[in-house]
């Protein structure tokens, strides 16, 4: 039996009258790459926010590494080993790239403010180690030599990678990526796709991502979960999802299957005429 990195049972989140996430069950196998997809407003990011502690779910339980984590403050959840990135990049803009990563190291460092004033041996050692690791992480995400550039001055793709590096710095066992390829061209998307796979293999972590680019989702996912109007409508391997009637309807509307059939026939006719 596979063990699960994170599991959610009956998670609901309501905003006033709107139920953004409605009784969703989720089980992400360890060391897998799992995707959550769904049309806009399906509750994907809300679910992410419940997992990373930004929202407290109204109902249900989220278990991670043997703890029930719903309701914990976000920094505690980060300590436990969940790190995330954001749909619209949220770096510390006025800090350099390397400093952004060093903030990611924060939970793994322990020296106090008094030690940093006195520059104790322990402080210097810790600072040195963190800095060395941070530079390696910078190389790892392919930003060598950009360490002293302010985050806001980095090119877009580099900012996405830096956000991942910052998340990796806390040594997470579960990495949440919110639309990692949003706004990228096809070449950058391809690179990111390879990078995510490599990330899972070399660092041995579980990755849960939200993604709109179906080529990316179908290529890298071990498991795909589909949300629509806050409900989970399908879950399974990419191939199963592609042929799932309800998924197609959720994306294209009712009767879409017939429509797509008609469209295919038309194209065949067109080709035949020529």
Partner 1 sequence: MLPHIKKGLVSGFTVGIVFVFLILIGFISVGAGMIWDLFGNLNNPSGNVTLTVSNLIIFIGLFGFLAGLTTWDKGAEGDWVQTLLAGLAAGLLGGVLVGAVIWEIGSLYEQGVDLRAYLPNLCPEEMTFLLFDHSPMAAALVYLISWVSFSLAGALITKAVSTRDWFSKINSKIKDGVNRLALKDQIQKVLENKAVLIGLLILLGLVLYFLPLAWGSYLNYIMGTVAIYVLLGLGLNIIVGYSGQLVLGYVAFFAIGAYTYALLTAPAPHGIELNVWLAMATAMVTATLTGLLLGLPILNLRGDYLAIVTLGFGEIIRILIRSDLLTPLTNGPKGITNIGQPTWHGHIFSDVNYMHLLFLLVLVGLFVAKRLKDSRTGRAWISIREDQTVAQATGVNTYRYKILALLLGAAFAGLGGALFASRNQFTGPEDFMLMVSVNVLCIVIVGGMGSLPGVLIGAFVLKGLPELLRELEDYRLLAFGALLVVMMIVRPSGLLPARQTQFSRAQHDKYKQERAEVN
Residue nearer to partner 1 on the CB measure, 28 or 176: 176
Q: Compute the distance between CA of residue 152 and CA of residue 39 in angstroms, rounded to an integer.
A: 30
Q: Compute the distance between CA of residue 187 and CA of residue 109 in angstroms, rounded to an integer.
A: 37
Residue nearer to partner 1 on the CB measure, 30 or 133: 133
| Cross-strand partners of 24 | 11
Task: Using CB under 8 A, pick the residue from 166, 179, 234, 235 that binds partner 1.
Answer: 166
| Cross-strand partners of 18 | 15
Contact (Cβ atoms closer than 8 angstroms) between residue 53 and residue 69: yes
Which of these segments, 92-100, 182-190, 195-203, 226-234, binds partner 1 (CB under 8 A)? 92-100
Backbone angles phi, psi at 206, to 5 degrees: -95, 140
Which of these segments, 91-99, 214-222, 240-248, 249-257, binds partner 1 (CB under 8 A)? 91-99
Contact (Cβ atoms closer than 8 angstroms) between residue 45 and residue 78: no
Task: Using CB under 8 A, pick the residue from 4, 92, 195, 251 that binds partner 1.
Answer: 92
70 near partner 1 (CB under 8 A): no
Residue nearer to partner 1 on the CB measure, 210 or 234: 210
DSSP 104: H
Convert residues 7-46 into a mask of x (bound to partner 1 by CB under 8 A) and - (unbound). ----------------------------------------
User: Distance between alpha carbon 47 and the CA centroid of its chain, in Å?
Assistant: 11
Tokens of 235: 């879950």
123 near partner 1 (CB under 8 A): yes
Task: Using CB under 8 A, pick the residue from 88, 148, 202, 243 that binds partner 1.
Answer: 148
Contact (Cβ atoms closer than 8 angstroms) between residue 219 and residue 211: no
Longest CA–CA separation in the chain, Å: 83
Residues of the shown chain interacting with partner 1 in the complex, contacts defined by CB under 8 A: 52-54, 73-75, 77-79, 83-84, 86, 90, 92-96, 98-99, 102-107, 109, 111-113, 116-117, 119, 123, 126-128, 130-132, 135-136, 145, 147-148, 150, 166-167, 170
């Amino acid at each position: 039996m596979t063990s699960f990195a994170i599991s959610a049972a009956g998670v609901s989140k309501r905003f006033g009258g709107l139920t953004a996430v409605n009784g969703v069950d989720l089980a992400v196998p360890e060391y897998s790459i799992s995707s959550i997809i769904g049309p806009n407003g399906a509750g994907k990011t809300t679910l992410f926010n419940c997992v990373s502690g930004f929202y407290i779910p109204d109902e249900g339980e989220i278990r991670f590494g043997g703890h029930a984590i719903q309701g914990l403050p976000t920094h505690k959840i980060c300590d436990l080993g969940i790190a995330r990135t954001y749909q619209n990049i949220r770096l510390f803009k006025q800090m350099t790239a390397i400093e952004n990563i060093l903030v990611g190291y924060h939970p793994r460092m322990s020296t106090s403010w008094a030690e940093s004033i006195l520059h104790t041996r322990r402080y210097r050692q810790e600072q040195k180690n963190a800095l060395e690791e941070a530079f390696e992480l910078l190389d790892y995400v392919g930003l060598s030599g950009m360490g002293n550039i302010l985050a806001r001055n980095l090119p877009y793709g580099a900012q996405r990678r830096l956000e991942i590096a910052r998340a990796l710095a806390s040594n997470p066992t579960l990495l949440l990526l919110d639309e990692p390829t949003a706004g990228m061209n096809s070449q950058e998307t391809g690179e990111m796709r390879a990078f995510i796979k490599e990330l899972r293999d070399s660092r041995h972590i579980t990755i849960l991502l939200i993604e709109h680019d179906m080529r990316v989702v179908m290529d890298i996912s071990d498991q795909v979960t589909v949300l629509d109007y806050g409900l989970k409508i399908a879950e399974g391997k990419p191939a199963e999802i592609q042929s799932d009637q309800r998924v197609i309807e959720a994306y294209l509307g009712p009767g879409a299957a017939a429509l797509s059939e008609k469209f295919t026939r038309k194209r065949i006719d067109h080709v035949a005429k020529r």
